[in-house]
Amino acid sequence: MAKQKTAIRNIGIIAHIDAGKTTTTERVLFYTHKSHRMGEVDEGTATMDWMTQEQNRGITIVSAATTCYWRKTKINIIDTPGHVDFTAEVERSLRVLDGAVGIFCAVGGVEPQSETVWHQADRYRVPCIAYINKMDRVGADFFAVVNEIREKLTANPLPVSIPIGKDSSYEGNIDLINMKELHWDIDDEGSEIRISDIRDDLQPLANEWHDKLLDALSAFSEEITDLYLESREIPTELIISTIRKATIARELLPVLVGSSLKNKGVQPVLDAILAYLPSPEELKPIIALHAKKNNPITINREEMEQCSALVFKIQHDREMGTLCYLRVYSGSIKTGSVLISVNAAKKERINRLLRMHANNHEQISEIKAGEIGVAIGLKFARTGETLASEGFPIILEMMNFPEPVISVAIEPKTMGDQDKLRNALANLHKEDPTFDVRENDETGQLIISGMGELHLDVVVTRILEEYKVDANVGKPQVSYRESITSAETHTEFYHRALAGKEHAASVTLKVEPQRRGEGNLFVSEISPTVLPASYQEAVRRGIIGSFSSGIVMGYPAVDIKVSLIKAEFQETTASEIAFEISSSLGFDNACRKAGPILLEPLMQVDIMCPSEQVGDVISNLSQRGGHVESMESRPAYELVKAKAPLIKMFGYSTALRSLTQGRGTFSMEFSHFMERSNSN
Ligand code: GDP
Ligand code: MG
């Protein structure tokens, strides 16, 4: 008999801050830990105490991926950051998971930030289920939130359970598939579920929603339609398999309900993860890029021998060193084997592999395709990079990171702090490649750039607190860009004696503005028979280097096309260095003649504010140079979508809080660069 494989679910939790992600995850780990342990060793109260202990110490889940077991299925819970400032991280975690649970607050409903993350989940076609939490709160309204999900997320929500009562009288759920009442005991932290027949006075409501469920499902199954029309009984397995198929196709969003804080409704969410979300084998093969040939290549998760794995998170642990969280897409990673860090083109030896659990970790010898685990001590791999078998140089992630548009200067106080700072930045950069570090040529200060105030704040706080660097930190500054407004042609002749040898080269460059957002481009119109490849390469280096050092103000240059249209040299004096320098000087001089301009980042700002204050919020926004693009009314709230220059949006969270007595929320993301307005 073939050895049975453990079923796997790789899932993430998507939630707006405060919706109850931590509380729910803790309950999940408690119940799964308990059921897993109870099957093996009976530790009695020790297991029971675990959650309370963790809670008392205020520990939440710090691991980027935690493994637990539910009904013999291995569930890997992958952490997804909730804030839009960390979009790249959200996107990366969405890539490595196969399904997600969206948690919504039964009072707050769908908030703007959940909308953003939800749309990202849409982009990556991640199958989802929804859990409406906090049914015990005053103002909880399950059906209103279901409607909001339908309208705001343009999803097709399908309640598979409905609440019995609400706020302080929230009792339990009606399971619409098995048509039973579910109740949880307070005494055992909700570990046992009491299943009973639906009482008479709830029958009409239960029947109404059961019918709605079957009606919705008949769109996906002829078998259900036929049975339904003939008023015959529809087998539970058929209902479940139909929901499963439609959920994986993202045509349905099963909705569950509960109150994690009151220990009600959590186990059905685990059951739904097993029942409706896909296992890694069920997914389509993914497309990667061959690093050398640059062509797309299909990764067959199951059949391929060669290993490919994506590093989705790096954490530094004081005791264990660098923890590298991996998702294996094909083949497997074994301890003792050698892989390549494809982006760095370096070999990595796999010394130790771990599986992370809620309160411990386990040494393992292999991570197979579809699985998630941790490798210790990799030297080169960074977040977002690919590890693969030797001779199989493929790249799994080809994502565009958002532009780092805001920066801060940091100055260590002593030489010792300087070393600590470099070490901190090297480590942090491996964890989060979305911030940039560069040195200001004139002042020698280190400049850190990130995607938003909060993002920079997190990086700087970690440098100061976690790495204990004593440093002066400047005020956040906007990162501008430079570009040009007209086309210009310029010839640069470089001639210099260096170390007793003559170096000379002449290049003629044409610079032209590209459309906004199109990026920079360098093309050589000279054939390699006229200008040898090594000199062509030197010209390219000179130009690419100039793009990042800017034109007049030293900000990176964007949206410029540079063409090399003529090159002159003599065999005796020509050199790579002469071509590189003449190109770099030529670029500067050409661009200075081509109407250089300063560009500033414009942000997409989504504000959710109480209707009474929408007037104040909008007039404040226009004082900041913002333009409202659309407004949508929600019950008691308005969603204002606007664009505003980043420079005017510093400290906006404080301003919005005082304008709305703390009730307004907003999200802000880089939109594009635009010519700086004179009012700044
Ligand atoms: P997160 O930000 O999504 O991780 O949310 P938390 O789990 O930290 O919860 C935010 C707050 O909501 C905390 O004060 C929780 O105690 C509370 N909370 C979480 N779940 C529930 C619930 O089911 N009912 C009520 N009343 N409060 C809850
Ligand atoms: Mg939390």
Q: Is the pLDDT of residue 98 over 80?
A: yes
- Tell me what pLDDT residue 35 has: 57
CATH superfamily of 286-395: Translation factors (2.40.30.10)
Q: What is the per-residue pLDDT across 193-202, written as a single tens digit (0 to 9) for each?
A: 999 999 999 9
Is 290 in contact with 314 (CB distance < 8 Å)? no
Q: Is the pLDDT of residue 400 over 80?
A: no
Greater confidence (680 vs 648) lies with 648
- One DSSP character per residue, 192-212 reads SEEEEPPPGGGHHHHHHHHHH
Q: What is the per-residue pLDDT across 439-475, written as a single tens digit (0 to 9) for each?
A: 876 677 889 998 888 788 888 988 998 899 999 999 9
- Residue 250 CA to residue 276 CA, distance in Å, equals 11
Q: How far is CA 242 from CA 232, 270, 543, 677, in A?
A: 17, 18, 57, 56
21 Cβ inside 6 Å of ligand 1: yes
Ligand 1 atom nearest to CA at 25:
7
- Tell me what pLDDT residue 677 has: 66
- Tell me what pLDDT residue 207 has: 96
E strand or H helix that includes residue 18: none
Contacts of 523 (CB under 8 A, 6+ apart): 561, 562, 563, 564
- One DSSP character per residue, 216-257 reads HHHTT-HHHHHHHHTTPPPPHHHHHHHHHHHHHTTS-EEEEE
Query: Which range, 100-114, 402-416, 558-572, is most confident?
Result: 558-572
Q: How far is CA 465 from CA 346, 460, 471, 628, 657, in A?
A: 32, 8, 11, 39, 27
Is 64 in contact with 325 (CB distance < 8 Å)? yes
Mean pLDDT of all residues in 40-57: 38
Q: Name residue 161's beta-bridge partners.
A: 175
- Tell me what pLDDT residue 49 has: 39
State the CATH architecture for 598-675: 2-Layer Sandwich (3.30)
Ligand lying nearest the CA atom of residue 264: 1
Q: Is the pLDDT of residue 64 over 90?
A: no
Q: Is the pLDDT of residue 657 over 50?
A: yes
State the CATH architecture for 7-281: 3-Layer(aba) Sandwich (3.40)
Ligand 1 atom nearest to CA at 17:
2
Greater confidence (679 vs 462) lies with 462
Q: What is the per-residue pLDDT across 361-378, written as a single tens digit (0 to 9) for each?
A: 889 999 999 999 999 989
* Backbone dihedral region for residue 619 (phi beyond 0: left; psi -120 to 50: alpha; all else: beta): alpha
Q: Is the pLDDT of residue 159 over 50?
A: yes
Q: Is the pLDDT of residue 41 over 60?
A: no
Helix axes 21-40, 45-56, angle to 10 degrees: 160
- Residue 198 CA to residue 180 CA, distance in Å, equals 5
By DSSP bridging, strand 366-368 and strand 180-184 are: unpaired
Mean pLDDT of all residues in 28-48: 53
Query: Check: CATH 3.30.70.870 for 406-479?
Result: yes
Domain residue limits, the chain: 7-281, 286-395, 406-479, 486-594, 598-675
H/E/C letters for each residue in 532-580?
CHHHHHHHHHHHHHHHHHCCCCCCCECCEEEEEEEEECCCCCCCHHHHH
Sequence letter at residue 222: E
617 alpha carbon – ligand 2 mean position (Å):
28
The number of beta carbons lying within 10 Å of the beta carbon of residue 177 is: 18
Q: Is the pLDDT of residue 106 over 60?
A: yes
Is 283 in contact with 329 (CB distance < 8 Å)? no
Nearest 5°: CA angle at 503, between 501 and 504?
Answer: 150
Sequence letter at residue 81: P
- Residue 173 CA to residue 268 CA, distance in Å, equals 10
pLDDT band of residue 189 (cuts 50, 70, 90) is confident
Burial classification of residue 577, based on how many CB atoms lie within 10 Å of its CB (0-12 exposed, 13-18 middle, 19 or more buried): middle
- Tell me what pLDDT residue 82 has: 58
Is 462 in contact with 571 (CB distance < 8 Å)? no
Mean pLDDT of all residues in 273-302: 87
Mutate to test the pocket of ligand 1, among 21, 23, 264 (most ligand atoms within 8 A of CB): 23
- Residue 160 CA to residue 97 CA, distance in Å, equals 23
261 alpha carbon – ligand 1 mean position (Å):
7
- Residue 314 CA to residue 439 CA, distance in Å, equals 25
CA–chain centroid gap for 638, Å, is 27
532 alpha carbon – ligand 2 mean position (Å):
59
136 Cβ inside 6 Å of ligand 1: yes
User: What is the total residue count of the chain?
Assistant: 680
134 Cβ inside 6 Å of ligand 1: yes
- Residue 373 CA to residue 310 CA, distance in Å, equals 11
Query: Which range, 21-25, 40-44, 274-278, is most confident?
Result: 274-278
Is 666 in contact with 607 (CB distance < 8 Å)? yes
E strand or H helix that includes residue 364: strand 361-364
Greater confidence (102 vs 22) lies with 102
Q: What is the per-residue pLDDT across 69-92, written as a single tens digit (0 to 9) for each?
A: 999 999 999 877 655 555 666 777
Asked whether this chain's domains 7-281 and 486-594 adopt the same fold, the reply is: no
H/E/C letters for each residue in 430-467?
HHCCCCEEEECCCCCCEEEEECCHHHHHHHHHHHHHHC
Mean residue pLDDT across the chain:
87
Ligand 1 atom nearest to CA at 24:
7
Query: How many CA atoms within 13 Å lie on the side-chain side of 44?
Result: 1
- Tell me what pLDDT residue 74 has: 94
25 Cβ inside 6 Å of ligand 1: no
- Tell me what pLDDT residue 87 has: 62
Mean pLDDT of all residues in 428-438: 83
Q: Name residue 673's beta-bridge partners.
A: 601
Alpha-carbon torsion angle 585, 588, 591, 596, nearest 10: -170
Residue 131 has which token pair? 């859990």
Mean pLDDT of all residues in 52-61: 40
Q: How far is CA 400 from CA 214, 263, 385, 395, 414, in A?
A: 42, 41, 13, 14, 37
114 Cβ inside 6 Å of ligand 1: no
358 alpha carbon – ligand 2 mean position (Å):
15
pLDDT band of residue 46 (cuts 50, 70, 90) is very low
Ligand lying nearest the CA atom of residue 60: 2
Q: What is the per-residue pLDDT across 505-553, written as a single tens digit (0 to 9) for each?
A: 999 999 999 998 888 999 999 999 999 999 999 999 999 999 988 898 8
- Residue 27 CA to residue 420 CA, distance in Å, equals 39
260 Cβ inside 6 Å of ligand 1: yes
Q: What is the per-residue pLDDT across 588-635, written as a single tens digit (0 to 9) for each?
A: 999 999 999 999 999 989 888 888 999 999 999 999 999 999 998 876
Mean pLDDT of all residues in 133-137: 97
Residue 533 has which token pair? 């490849």
Q: Is the pLDDT of residue 399 over 80?
A: no
Write the residue with the smallest CA distance to atom 9 of ligand 1. 20
By DSSP bridging, strand 597-610 and strand 481-483 are: antiparallel
pLDDT band of residue 45 (cuts 50, 70, 90) is very low
Task: Say which residue the tokens 């296992």 belong to.
Answer: 279
Q: How far is CA 360 from CA 299, 325, 522, 633, in A?
A: 32, 15, 52, 47
- Tell me what pLDDT residue 597 has: 95
Contacts of 562 (CB under 8 A, 6+ apart): 509, 510, 511, 520, 521, 522, 523, 543, 587, 590
Q: Is the pLDDT of residue 394 over 60?
A: yes
557 alpha carbon – ligand 1 mean position (Å):
46
- Tell me what pLDDT residue 51 has: 44
pLDDT band of residue 172 (cuts 50, 70, 90) is very high
Mean pLDDT of all residues in 27-52: 53
Is 113 in contact with 142 (CB distance < 8 Å)? no
Q: Is the pLDDT of residue 584 over 50?
A: yes
- Residue 389 CA to residue 559 CA, distance in Å, equals 37
Mean pLDDT of all residues in 387-416: 85
Q: Is the pLDDT of residue 52 over 80?
A: no
Q: Is the pLDDT of residue 554 over 60?
A: yes
Taking Cα atoms as reference points, which of 516, 512, 594 lies closest to residue 525?
512
134 alpha carbon – ligand 2 mean position (Å):
14
Task: Say which residue the tokens 């706080």 belong to.
Answer: 461
Among 63-67, 119-123, 510-514, 546-550, which is the least confidently predicted range? Answer: 119-123
Mean pLDDT of all residues in 146-157: 90
Write the residue with the smallest CA distance to atom 16 of ligand 1. 261
Greater confidence (407 vs 60) lies with 407
Which CATH number does 486-594 carry?
Answer: 3.30.230.10
Mean pLDDT of all residues in 221-242: 94
